[in-house]
Each structure stands twice: as structure tokens, then as C-alpha cells.
Amino acid sequence: MKSIVILISGRGSNMEAIVQACQQESWPARIAAVVSNKASAEGLQFAAARGIATAVVDHKAFDSREAFDAELARVVDGFAPDVVVLAGFMRILTEGFVRHFEGRMLNVHPSLLPAFPGLHTHQRAIEAGCKLAGATVHFVTPELDHGPIVAQAAVPVLPGDTPQALAERVLVQEHRLYPQAVRWLVEDRLALDAGVVRHRDGTPQVTWGG
């Protein structure tokens, strides 16, 4: 059975979706821990209430990103993870941290990468006149929001959409897409081929939502 460690900074709604899917679908894995850089993160309470170990590594207690990431890696390694999942973890990770967990760390980003990496994705998609928006699950690499794509979910950009309305529809798809992608990684159904993710059984990796 594989171990999953999830990193959050706030509520962790994607974390909740992954925890619930892991338990309800009987994955060959367990959520070993939920770790946050903020003691006030609401998601820690959700995890603790379900008997999941929690830990806090406060980034404000460190003089540099490198020092914080070194301690974060030490804490995460303490739970012996096979898979590390970023679920609303609002810190840019150093190359050293990423390399340490490379090939077993996933992130979800609220755009159809490579379009709109970074912040304010929904506003930027609307301003650009995009007809489709969505979410992307990808392996984490040192370049922000540019890792090999595991799966994507697309939703239409509707006339009169606001960033908030679009974000809410995309989040619904994230809650469905992200657990599925984590399960694929847990079950060894993903392979990297020259920087491109291949699905070992040919399962479609693009889905559509409303």
C-alpha cells in the first residue's frame, strides 16, 4: 500500500476530494499526512477529524525559501511518501525540493496549461476571449506550472462570465479530475516518455464539464 502526503495552505477542498475518493474507492494507498505552511489552515481540522496525521511548517519562521523547503522536505519525508500532492499549497518551491520529489509530485492548476500559468487565470482567460477554460493536473518540475501534463478538464467560458463564476465551475472539475489523476499515479498507470505523460491503458486524459 502506497503512502500519500498532501500539502495545503488553506481549506484544501481538493485535499478533501482526494481523501474521500481514496477511502470510498478503496485505493491501494492511504493518506499518510496533510502538511500545511499555516497553522490556521482549515484543511488540517478536516484531516485530523478523519484520523489523518497533520503537521505544520511555518514558512515565516525561516530566513530563506531554501531553509523552509529543507525543513518541509524533512517533515514530508518523515511520512515516507510514495506520492506528494499539492492541493492549494501557496508557496513557490525551490528547485532542490522539486528535484527531491520529482516524478512523484502532482499539482492541479486552474487553466488549460500551457495557457495562463501563474495567478488570476480565470480573469486572464475571460479577457483573452477564450471559449474554453479548465483545469490541468501535471507533474511538478522546477519551472512553475510547466510540468508534464497528466490530465485536463475543459469547461466553456459562458457569455457574461465573471472570474468567480468561471472559477466555481472549474473547481467542480478539479474535484473530479485531481483524485482520478492521483489514483492513476498510485496504481502505476502513468509513464513519462520524453517529457510527455502516457497512460498505460489508453484511458482518455481530457474530459469535459459544464
Residue carrying the nine cell digits 479530475: 177
Tell me the pairing of strands 2-8 and 29-36: parallel
Burial 96-134 (b: 16+ CB within 10 A, else e): ebbebbeebbbbbbbbbbeebeeeebbebbbeeebeebb
Q: 45: which residues sit within 8 A by CB, 6+ positions away? A: none
Catalytic residue among 59, 100, 109, 120: 109
Q: For Cα atoms 192, 71, 52, give the angle at the middle one, nearest 5 degrees.
A: 75
| Burial class for 34, CB neighbours closer than 10 Å (0-12, 13-18, 19+) | buried
Verify whether residue 59 is a known catalytic residue: no
Asked if residue 133 lies in contact with residue 111, where contact means CB atoms within 8 angstroms, the answer is: yes
Asked if residue 58 lies in contact with residue 79, where contact means CB atoms within 8 angstroms, the answer is: no
Q: What is the DSSP letter of 102?
A: T
The residues annotated as belonging to the active site are 109
